[in-house]
Amino acid sequence: MTQELSSSLPGNFIREAIEEDLRTGRFNYVRTRFPPEPNGYLHIGHAKAICIDFGMAQTFGGQCNLRFDDTNPVKEDVEYVDAIKEDIHWLGFDWEGREYYASDYFEQLYQFALKLVRKGKAYVDDLTADQIREYRGTLTEPGKESPYRHRSVEENLDLFQRMRNGEFPDGARVLRAKIDMASPNINLRDPVMYRIIHTPQHHRTGNQWCIYPMYDFAHGQSDSIEGVTHSLCDLAYEDHRPLYDWFLNELEIFHSRQIEFARLNLTYTILSKRYLKQLVDGGHVHGWDDPRMPTLCGMRRRGYTPEAIRNFINQVGVAKKENLVDISLLEYLVREDLNKRALRVMGVLNPLKVVITNYPDGQVESLEAINNPEDPAAGTRQVEFSKVIYIDQDDFREEPPPKYFRLAPGREVRLRYGYIIKCEGFVKNSTTGEIEEVHCTFDPQTKGGYAPDGRKVQGTIHWVSAHSARDAEVRMYDRLFTVPDPSRAEEGKSFLDYLNPNSLTVLKGCKIEPGLANAIPGSHYQFERKGFFCVDLDSTPDRPIFNLTVPLRDTWAKIEGTQKNKPD
């Protein structure tokens, strides 16, 4: 946690509400919590919640607890709790040892339930799940009371005890709150508080319990036990607030204030654990940390930085309006951050061999290159130049379109930090039509790329000496979906129908500066004129692998695009 984080957090309605509570004396301290269920990996939508939960606590000099809402052993696993903790730390937040679990409170929660049973406010119901649904009524019609609703306190106590003792199979009975089957708010129509689950074992409590509280019966009380003042959550829980209020009032325990905000939605991706799991299980991506995934581990592997993500969350703001944020904002902030810190290098993605015909055979010379024009402290490095070099195929055109500044027959171009060269000819494969080799001459007077005669050379291209280049694999990523909002699929389609078939392009035989082969996994570089790249987790010096984090803005692509679209 850093200091500037809180000061950069913009004002919003939640902050105002907390200020009001402090002013009016409703609370005299601030405590929040981030409550993930350990049933999947964190994604950027969670990052919003994390930044708000931890950020608000920090803004007001309070604390933010990490609490796992682990009330459903069927879906949860330790695999996820470890990953969640790692991701929160990576994002830049720390719960200072306050790592709690709803399962820590199972006994307390059980006692709470007992209290409601004794007060005649809860009962054991023998109806099946299907029957409970039928009895619940509909959105417009009131529900019916269960025939078991009026059991005596003694019978309820006995049955609930026996549920805990494991005398009944899964689904045989549940404990329900006795509220109002005719309530217009369906959450108040005698919601289920406890259900029986014998298997699997709980990841923390093992086989200690065979009854588990529902989220609705656990969350508010867990907040209460922890003295959470502000329970910040998704809009979806707005309807549940009256239920939490009811529990807290009947239990006569500390009452947190719940404030709901709209979850984050991002264009061209999907932010739903259920859908993300489908992408992983269906093999549409290579795992939760696939760089195309909007998960925090995926973004980390892709090369997004925690700073950029935090800035993004701050820029996006907090409100109650449903939103769909343009992913280009995130990309902009990633570039902004990386621009300041990523070392520049030259990497040729689709190599095209260039022979400098008037350069002496076997000669190799060393040229000075700047590591980061945005940061003089990054210094310089030496790059080798020789008779044969590689340039990108994009940088040569046999027939250059208007405004094309790069290499073409008879044209001059500057090799970055190298020489000005002129294209004198090329070799074309007569059967495939592919350009196989370009022949150029260099101007010895232009070492370093300077033209002493003041002549204008518009284009500057990147290159790598064939003599020293190393091969690398580069994974180019594009958006995962072809439409801005894949969750809104049209009739008869699912979000899977909008997967972008070109979201991953693996380039092999790319040519990189030799020093880059030893780059540390996770480190960031800018391949000049191409984009920001990150050394992949699986990269080794023998087999370097880079992930495209985000491409550089490509004005030329835009110009060329509009040229093509013009009917001429």
Least distance CB 554 / RNA (angstroms): 5
Least distance CB 286 / RNA (angstroms): 26
Strands 257-261 and 230-234 come out as parallel
What mask, x for binding RNA by CB under 7 A, covers residues 244 to 273?
Answer: ------------------x-----------
Indicate whether 444 belongs to the interface with RNA (CB under 7 A). no
414: which residues sit within 8 A by CB, 6+ positions away?
420, 421, 446, 449, 457, 459, 460, 461
Nearer to RNA by Cβ, of 60 and 290: the residue is: 60
501: which residues sit within 8 A by CB, 6+ positions away?
none
Q: In what order do the strands lie in the sheet with 412-415?
A: 460-461, 412-415, 420-428, 435-442, 351-356, 388-392, 464-465
Least distance CB 519 / RNA (angstroms): 17
* Residues written for the chain: 568
Helix (H, G, I), strand (E, B) or coil at 440: strand
Phi/psi class of residue 512: alpha, beta or left (left: φ > 0; alpha: ψ in -120 to 50)?
beta
Which positions from 462 through 521 interact with RNA, judged by CB under 7 A?
A: none
Least distance CB 136 / RNA (angstroms): 4
What mask, x for binding RNA by CB under 7 A, covers residues 282 to 321?
Answer: ---------------------------------xxxxxxx
Which positions from 205 through 234 interact with RNA, judged by CB under 7 A?
A: 212, 214-216, 219
Which positions from 93 through 132 interact with RNA, judged by CB under 7 A?
A: 127-129, 132
Least distance CB 440 / RNA (angstroms): 17
What's phi and psi for 158, nearest 5 deg?
Answer: -60, -50
Got the DSSP string for 162-187? HHHHT-S-TTS-EEEE-S-TT-SSGG
Q: Which of 108, 165, 208, 323 binds RNA (CB under 7 A)?
A: 323
Which positions from 334 through 373 interact with RNA, judged by CB under 7 A?
A: 335-336, 339, 344, 372-373
| Residues forming the active site | 37, 263, 273
Among 236, 131, 225, smallest CA distance to 174 is for 131
Residues in binding contact with RNA, number by CB under 7 A: 91
What mask, x for binding RNA by CB under 7 A, covers residues 516 to 545?
Answer: ----------x-xx----------------
Least distance CB 430 / RNA (angstroms): 28
Nearer to RNA by Cβ, of 298 and 347: the residue is: 347
Which positions from 153 through 182 interact with RNA, judged by CB under 7 A?
A: 170-171, 173-174
Got the DSSP string for 290-316? -TTS-BHHHHHHHT--HHHHHHHHHHH
Instruction: Return the sign of the alpha-carbon dihedral for residues 505, 507, 512, 518.
Output: positive
Strands 380-386 and 388-392 come out as unpaired
Nearer to RNA by Cβ, of 286 and 339: the residue is: 339
Which positions from 36 through 75 interact with RNA, judged by CB under 7 A?
A: 37, 69, 71-72, 74-75
Q: Which of 166, 448, 522, 541 binds RNA (CB under 7 A)?
A: 448
Distance CA 339, CA 19 (A): 37
Nearer to RNA by Cβ, of 165 and 429: the residue is: 165
Least distance CB 431 / RNA (angstroms): 29
Q: What 8-state DSSP symbol labels residue 138? A: -
Nearer to RNA by Cβ, of 179 and 290: the residue is: 179
Tokens 């694999």: give the residue: 473
Which positions from 389 through 408 interact with RNA, judged by CB under 7 A?
A: 403-406
Indicate whether 185 belongs to the interface with RNA (CB under 7 A). yes
Strands 470-477 and 435-442 come out as unpaired
